[in-house]
Structure 1
Amino acid sequence: MNKENINYAGLTGSFDIVVGSVSAYSSVFLMAQGLDEFAIGILTSTANLLASFLQPWLGDKVDKSIKLNLWHVNILIIIPSLLLLVGILLASRWVALVAFFYTLVLTLQVTLSPFLSAIGVYIMNNGVKINYGVSRGVQSSAFAMTSTTLGILVSRMGTQTIIYFAIFGYLLYLVMLFILYQNVLKSLFADHSQAVKLNPVDVALKPTQTPFFNKYPHFKYIIFGSFCFFIGHNFINLFMIQIIENVGGTTENMGIAVGLSAIAEVPMMLLFTRINQRVSINKLMMTAAIFFSIKTIFTLLASSVVGIYMAQVMQPFAFGIYIVGSVYYTNSQMDATDKVKGQSLVTTAHTLGGVVGSSVGGWLINHFSVEYGLIFCIIMSLLGVAAYYIGLFNHR
């Protein structure tokens, strides 16, 4: 493996240390501050919505600026994140301030994600080969190790461990970013012009010469299905501690459950292109759709921690296939001029699904129970399966 691959994989892995702490344990941390599930859902929804506006604004600044590049934007996101994390530790007695800071940390974390991907795309577009399968595998592995380790440490040392892990992740990210800058980016920035298009919502809504859904009538079913799947996907990820505690588990069990799903998806991501050579992309996407529903149903039916573990190891056939397959599918269905808009529509569906999963799911848990939240997710997921069936096999 060349040094560019190692450098970039190290960058993606360090980022998922942050995701595996700040995002995966957001419900655990905020509940320890005295917030209920509905409040947690609203805060995480707000973070996603704020990021959907901040991402395109920063991306536009990079596109139009001569001096501002991806290196600068990454630094401009990470430094405030580190200050906010330190602020959370210092303001531990003021719940409202901690919640506000945590929402901003989540916003910046979500905002950073496409700029991390843009670095890889920028490197590849300038003639340097990057293996995305390897970097994605490193990400999932780092996430799995972080979530599993934190599950043990939080139960023994308290929720502030989450913040310390996030600080460590960002500091490591800065080190890996500096190494990548010195080895690769610095010379590329000097030799090549840069264009970064990170405006999924704006691109998704931008009118085209031929109305998009007239040209690709089946794709509206794919967008709706993706929206439905991400309601349940986000709900399970955000409220895993409530799901685990509902069957008698602990924070340590939660860490194992989240780690299992992350590590289980790695082989599927690495082997996806080989599998796709034997199985059509339509069949693979339909498989993912069905397994999103099966995983949520198994989560509802689980009566023990082991049952939750069994549901989590279905992740490769749901999210593992979907997250790679959706990119391949969209690229295969559209003309070159429409590919960016297609991917942007899918990304927007993910964001909206996450908002609904967080807010409505949190409200259902707060006013009824975890089971009601999962039933809602199952209903939406089954609607998604029906939409995918129409979009993939039965559209006209």
Structure 2
Amino acid sequence: MEEKRINLQYIVLQGLYMTLYCVSCGFISFYLQGNGFANSGIGIITAVFCLFAVIFQPIVGNICDRIDRLTWKKLIIILGLPYIVICIAMLIIKEKWIIAILFGMMYIITNIYLPLINTALFSYKREGIEINFGVARGMGSAMYALMALFIGNIAVRVGTRIIPMAGLIIIALFLGVVFSMPVADKIKSDRNETKRTNIVGFIKKYPYFSIMLLAVLFIYFSHNIIGTYLLQIVQSLGGNSGNLGIAMFIQALAEIPVLFTFSYIMKKVKIGNLMILAGIGYVVRGILYFISGSIMIIYTIQLSQIFSFAIVTAASVYFTGMVVDVEDQTTGLAFMSGMTAAGTVLGSLLGGEILDHIGMRSMLAVNILITIIGLGIAVCSIKLIRSKKKNKYV
């Protein structure tokens, strides 16, 4: 009964987190544009927000690993308080640059939450409670898709105020679920005898994991160069924002079957092979975007999420759990999730420059090159881990 209850709570937690992510991160262009920022400014501001998220994720994760009393649950609740204050301030303040800073802080907190939620997965596992991460993450994709449609429709009538209003409601529900969940004490065995690993020490301690981080960076670079400028891709084929919404909805729904069955997939395919498969999926996805010639083909390409993002988003979490030691897992998960934000920085800046100066076809061609580099690095990482016999499960 305890395991079933915690699984249900974790599924709800992932669902609420993804709706929070949709509000705080998915509508960043909409919110900034609605508050008077031009497209060029939005690209720069987005990159700056993402860069701070990249920096803070491993720092906060490392702090959590190094302080015994600071559990994932406590840190989520602590960060929830400024999130609430930020949402209230966004409803009151009218100065656009202050609003941009507040939104940036909301964005950063939301990104910091991801490794903490993933840490909970392994925390329960050490207590003998098996969490079905695939089902939980699949529920997150479903909730993200529904929230995207909801916010998109309501925003037409309410405007940008829907963002902080939705943020307040969701964070209250999110914190309520976190508060109700039990949390185990951190593993104490050998922690006082083992030298605590700082961020630089972590990279030296896990060189092959760090190589995979670089691969994931290139994968998310590709993911975000397409995601950030998907509207422009659709427009280049004669579409509009309505077509964009449908494409995003299909993309999110496509992830669900893989995520719901991921526990079964892992029994059949090694996690290292899944990481390589995701890289191959992104290469194929990049080629399909390059040769696409109509909106209907774009809709079809969104189904490639099944073999790309759906795999890497789950496999990267389990890969970290297998390669990184227990006492460093929050740091490892923070580094891994930080690659998403880092990919957004690179995708926003490079994609915008290529679009403005060279054109759409060039951007899509560069995207193919990025995916091939990411796949090559992933293959090297897995080969090194296996040749050194670092982990028999990878």
The normalised TM-score by structure 2 is: 0.80
User: Shift of residue 259 of structure 1?
Assistant: 2.3
Q: Confirm or deny: 8 A CA contact 1:221 1:387 kept in the other structure.
A: yes
User: Shift of residue 265 of structure 1?
Assistant: 1.0
Aligned length: 378
The 5-angstrom pairing of residues 1-396 of structure 1 reads 2-63=4-65, 65=67, 68-92=70-94, 94-180=95-181, 184-185=182-183, 188=184, 202=199, 206-208=203-205, 213=207, 222-281=212-271, 283-328=273-318, 346-347=336-337, 349-389=339-379
User: Shift of residue 14 of structure 1?
Assistant: 0.9
Q: Confirm or deny: 8 A CA contact 2:247 2:299 kept in the other structure.
A: yes
Structure 2: runs of 5 or more not aligned? 388-394
User: Shift of residue 144 of structure 1?
Assistant: 1.4
Structure 1: runs of 5 or more not aligned? none
**Superposed structure 1 runs of 4+ greater than 6 Å apart:** 191-195, 341-345, 393-396
**1: distance between equivalents of 2:324 and 2:11?**
31
Flag the 1:349–1:312 CA change in 2: closer, same or farther, 3 A. Answer: same
User: Shift of residue 299 of structure 1?
Assistant: 3.0
User: Shift of residue 138 of structure 1?
Assistant: 1.5
User: Shift of residue 137 of structure 1?
Assistant: 1.6
SS in 1 for 2:37: coil
Flag the 1:98–1:105 CA change in 2: closer, same or farther, 3 A. Answer: same
Identity percentage over the alignment?
24
**1: distance between equivalents of 2:253 and 2:361?**
26
User: Shift of residue 165 of structure 1?
Assistant: 2.5
RMSD of aligned alpha carbons: 3.6
Q: Confirm or deny: 8 A CA contact 1:27 1:241 kept in the other structure.
A: no
Flag the 1:318–1:60 CA change in 2: closer, same or farther, 3 A. Answer: closer
**2: distance between equivalents of 1:83 and 1:12?**
23
User: Shift of residue 330 of structure 1?
Assistant: 6.0
Post-superposition CA distance 1:1-49 (Å, at most 9, x none): 7111111211221111111122112122223334344433332332233
Which stretch of the first structure deviates more once superposed, 375-384 or 242-251?
A: 242-251
The normalised TM-score by structure 1 is: 0.80
Which stretch of the first structure deviates more once superposed, 55-64 or 82-91?
A: 55-64
User: Shift of residue 143 of structure 1?
Assistant: 0.9
User: Shift of residue 95 of structure 1?
Assistant: 2.2
Post-superposition CA distance 1:191-221 (Å, at most 9, x none): 98699xxx9991675434xxx55xx5xx776
User: Shift of residue 361 of structure 1?
Assistant: 1.9
User: Shift of residue 136 of structure 1?
Assistant: 1.2
